[in-house]
Structure 1
Amino acid sequence: MDRRRLAAMSAALASLIPAAALAQDDALFRTQALPAAGTVHFALPQVPDHGTDNSEAGCYIYSTAMRTGLGSPGLILDRGALGGGYGGNTELLCFRRMGDKVAAIFRNPRFRASGDAATERGARESFPFAIAAMLPIVRGDGGALVVDMAPMLARDVNGIAGVLNRDGRNYRLAPELGAVDTASLKAFPNNVELDVAQTFTSDAPGTEVTGLAADPRQVSFIVHHSFIRLPEPGFVPRAYDPRSPANGMLAYDYGAPLGQPVARQMAVRFRLEKTDPAADRSPVVKPIVFYIDPAAPEPVRTALMDGVNYWAKSFEAAGFVDAFRAEILPADADPLDVRYNIVNFANRLTRGWSYGGGIVDPRTGEIIKGNVVIGSLRVRQDITIFEALVGTAENGTGSRNDPVQAALARMRQLGAHEVGHAIGFMHNFAGSTQDRSSVMDYPSPRWRVANGQVDLGDAYAPGGGVWDDFSVDWLYGDPAPGVNPDAHAAAKALAAQEQGLAFITDIDGRAPDLPSPVGSMWDDGPDPLAGLANTLAVRDIALANFGEGSVLPGEALANLRRKFVPLWLLHRYDVDAAGKLIGGLDYQYGVRGDRHQDPAPFPAEQQRAAIAGLIDTLSSTRLTVPARLVPLLSVPTTSLPDPQFNTEVFDNAGAAAFDPLVAADVAAQITLGSLLAPARLRRLAEQQRRDPGMPGIADLLTAIDTRVIASRPDMVARRVAWRALLGMAAAERDPATSPEAAALLHARLGTIARRLAGEGSRAGEDGAWATYAADVLGDEARLTALLQQQPATAPAIPPGMPIGGDSGWFSE
């Protein structure tokens, strides 16, 4: 390729020439890649001479992404991911001349000060900035400085070595095995896009990378760089409101008036402007368009587009005409180009999270590009679950119980959910308690029993809900000119609260030991106990029907082991939801001056019913695998080691021999972990201290003792009782357990040990079990050693939620 053509292709980032005068040379940066010399020349206009210059001249938005990925759900280096992982790494990049070089500086706009220039400078100089690279000056060029950008592009900008070293050791960037992809240079009035090949080498690769890489000692990626013009003035930040659905961006304003908070949260959102700002309904200046990655195969591609388009209704309801739509990405478009909001489709070896976020102006919270990554195996895992529930006979028929159609309905909801994050919304785990009011919940399929069979006909809602309508109106619905937008938004939040719209997000919903059942994940309906009962009824019917009809004709019978796990543990999230009633609090977010309810414990009888309901899930009746299934679940497989199978099944009793006691033990761990969580025990103690009529720790321990440990009709019951004893002993020693709870656990275990010693005189297996358990409880050193071994000796709980990594705030 001749140098003139290369220069024309790479005429780059936004220059001072208006976008309307688009031509090859009308770019922010004029660029030239010189492969033979290993340099990339950028002509930078307006580079101030002083390294501490406070202006925004010579400043840009800078972001990176992964064009190619690792394919691991645990080591988050996904195709299409910003910054390589969930959150991205958008920076405010400023170029400043320092001697014979230009410093590429990442400013720290999180710390700022409103006021005069001196106050502003004082705040900025009080916190560190980062010099990303020192760029050699090649020459001056018509008022611009031409620099070699190679030192900046050659860095491990996405922290890939650190991610790889979570699995292996000594991964490091090998500059001699990397280069700028000169053919990738794209120049537009507002952005420059550029790819760089990078290779990371190690003499001690880990098992995860070894199972994924062509050569785990030399792992290569294409890393994408985006240089973006600062958005035009005029964007109005929206003050964050704890009653609102918006993701917030935290900044510290040291120029805030005395008596006002220094910490300021701003909601992130797109710039969406009506052509007629005074009209209740109006077309918009620039609609929000999300493009679906054609890497998603049909019919998943169309399902994602249909689901993302759920949001169009909410924007219409908020008065924005034709303001939002989803389309398939055109064949000639680059999904990493910042001009396109994108729903990427990433393949991984095993299933993992999907997530949504974007490139956000760190000064204001304006979303520049929405970016979503959908994991490809999610839809296939859903099909596996539905096949376990209703069999495979109706696959592909389009019927109410077609597992494929139910999974595609889930993909529509997932597409809407992740794009919800990308347009600025956080989770609302309370949506399922108000008849599916929001796609921003983690939804359980709405499975029901109809005519004695499992029915999936209403598995997922075919659209968004009332909370989603409120969310768009709150975040994007600006008032008429002259009205304070934050006061206008606060009035909307109050109205939604008074309407009774429920809202609980991650901080109060994600962990199973939290106090709000309203914020549970993967549940359905307003009553957690009714939800648990419904799921157990569905589980009973599905277990009765489970068998060869749960796999496809010609499919390996060994796959029954994989499909059995989500069926056996179908109630795991209903256990979490019902458990949150115990020592739980009914509360909502609020601000001074609204009429939110004070937090209050759930009624005593409801809590006692929850204790009884969870204890019921520990009965041998619930946890005995039907005898007819044990041979079916022991069919061997000759296939090569497959992580997609091996991470999804219960531990066996050697080779393919299914162990039904492991299945019972795993299910018991889930319930006991909820009941004996240290945070729950602390709340039980406190609620009974304030009101002796409320259940306390002793009530919970009595229920476990009398109905689980003392009642042992068979071997399954004894295994569950053993797990309960170890769970109580572990809770007593847990540093997070309060001394009050530890004392009661210690006393109860002593009482149980003495009783079991007396029961050891019984003949048969139960007497032997009682003697063994009493001896262990009475020998402190032996018990302590056993508990230290427990993480290795207790049967592993197969993953339930999408696996791999910490999900963060933007994922599902």
Structure 2
Amino acid sequence: MKMMRRMRLGAILFALSAPLAPLGAQPAPEEIVAPGGEAGLLPVRTEAAKGRILLTLPAPAEDGVALRVLYSTALKTGLGSAPLVLDRGRIGNTQLLAFRRIGGKIAVQFENPRFRATAGDAAQQQAVASDFGISTMWITDIAETLDDGRMVIDIAPFLAMDTLGIAGSLNLDQDSFGIGTSSAIGGKGFRLDDKLSLADPASVKLFPDNLEVDAVQTFVSDKPGAEVENIVPEPKKLTLTVHHSFVRLPEPGFEPRVFDPRLGGFATQVVDFSAPLGAPVVYDLANRFRLEKVDPSAPRSRVKKPIVYYLDRNTPEPIRSALIEGIGWWGDAFDAAGYIDAFRVEMLPEGADPLDVRYNMVNWVDRATRGWAYGQQIVDPRTGEIIKGMVVLGSLRARQDIQIFQALVGAGALNSGGPNDPVKVALDRLAQLGAHEVGHTLGFAHNFAASTQDRASVMDYPPPRIGLVDGAPDLSDAYAEGIGAWDVATVRWLYGDADEAETAEAAAQFRYGQDDNSRSADTAYAWGGLWDDGADPTAELTRMMEVRAAALSRFGLGALAPGEPVANLRRRFVPLWLLHRYQLVAAAKQIGGVDFTYAVNGGGREAAQPVAPARQRATLDAVLATLTPEALRVPPALVPLLSAAQNGTNDRQYETEVFATAGGPVFDPLVAADAATSLTVQTLLAPRRLARLVVQRHGDPAALGVGEVLDRLTDRVLGRTGDDLGRRIAYRTLATMAQVARRGDATPEVAAALDQKLVDVAALLAKRKANGAERAWALSLSRALGDPDAREKLAASLPRMVSVPPGDPIGEDDWMNLSSLLAPGE
């Protein structure tokens, strides 16, 4: 025991005799170095204990600017909510960021290169820059000034700010998505909590041309919405990791290309006050990668730096192979434009950061529900040069497609590898999707008219082409393979050496309809449809109704795998029942439709032409055919199967994708008919479509008019009211007419025609000779339509209206007006 005491005393004396570290001493800042010891974008040191990230800025120039870089943000971790689009890999707008010394402080400012004087001297350029506002995002003290004038600042507090706009996305109302309600799907009052947000010094990565840093950001709210509550462990506190990229300005030598509306794409706007008088001050530069031939004079040449896309290492097989195949199709288009081996796709190297700006990425993300895929660009706002492409693909989309294919051809062929194998067809769809989204990041916009010209572009939204073989649905030609003829032409224009004659020829050869003239159901362009097929939209609608009828006649337990809950039939039934929904919208665009191009003076086809009256009337016939009881009667044998009970925990995806029941699991076939009726009537009676009919008839008395449409519609639905199904179709049609008549966007002429037609129908129903249920229905509806106050009430509330399960995005990319949330180029 004494020996132990002596040993302890000796240890204590030795410890007391050792030199003491200064109180408050901290480890020295760690110098961050670029790989291989190369010089980085700028000197960076980190102090983990203090959470500091120290940048050494160059000495400031005369205007106080020490450094200009391109700045972009991206989500390194996502929420997993499709409607809110806060996905891993989502990027923000690219900004021209300046570190400017003002007195003894440094201001971080977003400059405004859109307004410029391209041909002016330095004084004129400075004058224009002074005329338009910039954004000062943050001001900080200078931590140290070195002998050579360089300045050290701690950038960490800036990185913790919400420069990506996450709070705005969380607080977004559903109305912003065009859903028609005003509830906040993310929540209300979400704000960044400074105390729960900070930059991560351990995440700093330095490269020769870029600096990459992560920050943890926490957003708090006392009123989180359903999307957040469904996913986050503590919904009142949502934490995401935001990635920041600071990128060296590109070297001179990039040649901007003026945007050509005939072939489209994404663009960077310029407001150039040095433009000559008579020339436009506002014009667009087409967004594109820098792609230079080794031999510029050769029709075909290798390139100095190929465009390479990298696939997320989290992408599983066989999806990985399908995406590599589809994305790789773009290599054929570049080769056709004279660029040899200019484009390729590879797996992301082990250890590489997918948010590193040097890697064009295709990310595979998971969400709680199915949602859109999208393609984004980091673009130099001065020139339109694409610095990086970033694609986000959601994993549940392919599984939704498999649901549809099982409904069409059954589950027996699952994983068989045959032409009707739902898994194989879904992989074919993924190849198309990969090519489509990468196309956006290369600079190409949607072309929603390509489907009417033999699948001319992967930039359309392709539906599965469903054939009928021996009366049964067939998927052997569901999706095209390879790049389209439109894609080859646009690569040639955007990246190649196409002259004016070649560009004009391509514009004359192909139809082209971008989002503004195609996405909504009531747009005017006759050929701009989403997820439609075929050269004749009307004929394809008629054919699709035949396919639908054949598929419904075979639908049943064969659509389920062995041991699968029978309740899943109810979810699989919906996309089959509404199989015609997209082709219906595409065909209806012939009614009141116009054929036009994005013409330039002297290029031909400058004048827009309305669709011929005969074609419009033929389309009206096809549209009205979707409202017959025969088309909308659920096969009686299916009702018991669709009434199977569901057990287990709630699945929000399932709940949003099925029709409302008649209580418990009991399937209500009238609800299914009501939903399909709503789709047809709302599409046909879209106020802008009816307004165009008024305009067209004003110029041509032989044109289809609003009165003729309403007469044909009411004659169709009122002639078959002998049973509950016919009466439900007629009720929904008339109630929708009352609603459209009161809509603010209905023109006076359209509102008057609808209003008078409803009064006429009320009088007709009051005189109808009927008994029992039909008599009660006719008299009740007559009172609701004939009295102005009752009709106003019917229009205002649409009582007993059923909800239609969502269709988008069963087929493709974006968008419910999400462009304000996402980076340019979606």
Contact 2:156 2:198 in 1 (8 A): no
What is aligned with 1:484? Answer: none
What is aligned with 1:103? Answer: 107
Question: What are the equivalent positions in structure 2 for 1:1-20 lying under 5 Å apart?
Answer: 7-8=30-31, 10-11=32-33
The one-letter code matched in structure 1 to 2:97 is: L
What do residues 705-751 of structure 1 show as CA deviations (whole Å, max 9, x unaligned)?
Answer: 11112432321111010111111111111111111111111221111
What is aligned with 2:523? Answer: 514
Question: What are the equivalent positions in structure 2 for 1:122-521 lying under 5 Å apart?
Answer: 122-141=127-146, 142-166=148-172, 167-478=186-497, 488-498=498-508, 500-521=509-530
Contact 1:64 1:157 in 2 (8 A): yes
**CA shift for structure 1 position 128:** 1.0
Contact 1:433 1:518 in 2 (8 A): yes
What is aligned with 1:705? Answer: 714
- In 1, Cα distance between the equivalents of 2:485 and 2:27? 56
- In 1, Cα distance between the equivalents of 2:574 and 2:803? 12
The one-letter code matched in structure 2 to 1:111 is: F
**CA shift for structure 1 position 402:** 0.4
| Residues 316 and 285 of structure 1: CA distance in aligned 2, closer, same or farther (over 3 Å) | same
- In 1, Cα distance between the equivalents of 2:727 and 2:244? 59
What is aligned with 2:41? Answer: 28
Contact 1:75 1:805 in 2 (8 A): no
The one-letter code matched in structure 1 to 2:779 is: T
Q: Give the counterpart of 2:808 among 796, 801, 806.
A: 801
| Runs of 5+ consecutive residues of structure 2 not aligned to the other structure | 1-24, 173-185
Contact 2:624 2:716 in 1 (8 A): yes
- In 2, Cα distance between the equivalents of 1:783 and 1:800? 31
- In 2, Cα distance between the equivalents of 1:811 and 1:228? 19
| Residues 5 and 227 of structure 1: CA distance in aligned 2, closer, same or farther (over 3 Å) | farther
Aligned residues: 780
Is structure 2 residue 60 aligned with structure 1 residue 47?
Answer: yes
**CA shift for structure 1 position 25:** 5.9
Is structure 2 residue 538 aligned with structure 1 residue 553?
Answer: no
- In 2, Cα distance between the equivalents of 1:174 and 1:692? 64
Contact 1:293 1:343 in 2 (8 A): yes
- In 2, Cα distance between the equivalents of 1:194 and 1:49? 29
The one-letter code matched in structure 2 to 1:762 is: A
Contact 1:11 1:29 in 2 (8 A): no
- In 2, Cα distance between the equivalents of 1:301 and 1:184? 28
- In 1, Cα distance between the equivalents of 2:694 and 2:482? 43
Q: Share of identical aligned residues, percent?
A: 48
| Residues 346 and 489 of structure 1: CA distance in aligned 2, closer, same or farther (over 3 Å) | farther
| Runs of 5+ consecutive residues of structure 1 not aligned to the other structure | 13-21, 83-87, 479-487
**CA shift for structure 1 position 793:** 3.5
Question: What are the equivalent positions in structure 2 for 1:561-600 lying under 5 Å apart?
Answer: 561-596=570-605, 598-600=607-609
| Residues 489 and 132 of structure 1: CA distance in aligned 2, closer, same or farther (over 3 Å) | farther
What do residues 467-493 of structure 1 show as CA deviations (whole Å, max 9, x unaligned)?
Answer: 010111100014xxxxxxxxx543332
| Residues 436 and 4 of structure 1: CA distance in aligned 2, closer, same or farther (over 3 Å) | farther
What do residues 222-274 of structure 1 show as CA deviations (whole Å, max 9, x unaligned)?
Answer: 11000000000000000001101321111211121111111110100000000
What do residues 556-605 of structure 1 show as CA deviations (whole Å, max 9, x unaligned)?
Answer: 11111110000000000111011111111111111011122521111211
Contact 1:757 1:771 in 2 (8 A): yes
Once the two structures are overlaid, the 10-residue window that deviates more, 380-389 or 202-211, is: 202-211
Contact 2:783 2:790 in 1 (8 A): no
Is structure 2 residue 775 aligned with structure 1 residue 767?
Answer: yes
- In 2, Cα distance between the equivalents of 1:24 and 1:94? 27
| Residues 3 and 369 of structure 1: CA distance in aligned 2, closer, same or farther (over 3 Å) | farther
The one-letter code matched in structure 2 to 1:148 is: D
What do residues 423-468 of structure 1 show as CA deviations (whole Å, max 9, x unaligned)?
Answer: 0000001111111010000111111111211110011011111101
Tell me the TM-score normalized by structure 2: 0.92
What is aligned with 1:16? Answer: none
Is structure 2 residue 726 aligned with structure 1 residue 717?
Answer: yes
Contact 2:456 2:485 in 1 (8 A): yes
Contact 2:443 2:825 in 1 (8 A): no
After superposition, the CA RMSD in angstroms is 1.8
Is structure 2 residue 718 aligned with structure 1 residue 748?
Answer: no
Contact 1:292 1:328 in 2 (8 A): yes
| Residues 186 and 471 of structure 1: CA distance in aligned 2, closer, same or farther (over 3 Å) | same
Tell me the TM-score normalized by structure 1: 0.94
- In 1, Cα distance between the equivalents of 2:587 and 2:797? 30
- In 1, Cα distance between the equivalents of 2:392 and 2:223? 30
SS in 1 for 2:627: coil
**CA shift for structure 1 position 360:** 0.3
SS in 2 for 1:621: coil
| Residues 452 and 25 of structure 1: CA distance in aligned 2, closer, same or farther (over 3 Å) | closer
Is structure 2 residue 793 aligned with structure 1 residue 785?
Answer: yes
**CA shift for structure 1 position 212:** 0.6
- In 2, Cα distance between the equivalents of 1:767 and 1:268? 64
**CA shift for structure 1 position 805:** 5.1
**CA shift for structure 1 position 694:** 1.1
What is aligned with 2:121? Answer: 116
Contact 1:74 1:805 in 2 (8 A): no
The one-letter code matched in structure 2 to 1:68 is: T
